[in-house]
Amino acid sequence: MKSEIVELDGIGRILLERSSRAKNINISVRPFHGVRVAVPHGVSFKRAREFVCSKKGWIQKHLANMRQVEQDHQILSKNFNNINRADARKILIKRLDELAKKHGFKYNRVSVRNQKTRWGSCSSKNNISLNAKLAKLPERLMDYIILHELAHTRVRNHGKKFYAELGRLVPDQKLLDSELKEYGAGLL
């Protein structure tokens, strides 16, 4: 796989990388990875550089968001190493109860654990399990995950009905989901 790194004023380093899967020039800006440009076969790196220059404003906007996520991640990761599960349990159960009452949900039991791969889950018996690390996330993300698990008490799978239910509770779910993925990049 051929690649090249270019410097662009106002942006910095950009990785141009030949991709057999790309059909068009694709720019991605990801925390801890920087700016990557997938260049399809049949498109020259010169053309890719020109395309990147034409999208400079878009890249700068996304770089600013990326830097904020990286900064938040560094602060949060320090806190996550010192998380007190008992305190997290109090915070999360209180918020779970508030959101369940507000939206008319019923659940059976709740457990709060330090998990490595999931923010939360809901069993077929409506037992909700939450990751203790949730307590250190911004409240909007904590609420999003709790509402996601509460929605599973009504709809068990991730089908259209589930996302309709979640969308009713969290109108900006797609934005929060992508933000959560950025936080989860190194925290889980």
Distances (CA, A) of 118 to 54, 129, 131, 134, 160: 39, 9, 7, 10, 22
* pLDDT in 10s for each residue of the chain, 188 residues: 688 998 888 888 999 999 999 999 999 988 778 899 999 999 999 999 999 999 999 999 888 877 777 777 666 666 655 667 888 999 999 999 999 999 999 999 999 998 888 999 999 999 999 999 899 888 999 999 999 999 999 999 999 999 999 999 999 998 898 888 877 755 55
Give the predicted TM-score (pTM) of the model.
0.62
Domains, in order of start, for the chain? 3-80 (no CATH), 84-187 (3.30.2010.10)
Structure tokens at 158: 């991730």
Tell me the HSE value of 96 on the side-chain side, using a 13 A CA sphere.
Answer: 31
Own/partner pairs for 136-140, CB < 8 Å, 24+ apart?
136/76, 136/79, 136/80, 136/83, 136/88, 137/76, 137/183, 138/72, 140/176
Whether the CB-CB separation of 35 and 29 falls below 8 Å is answered with yes
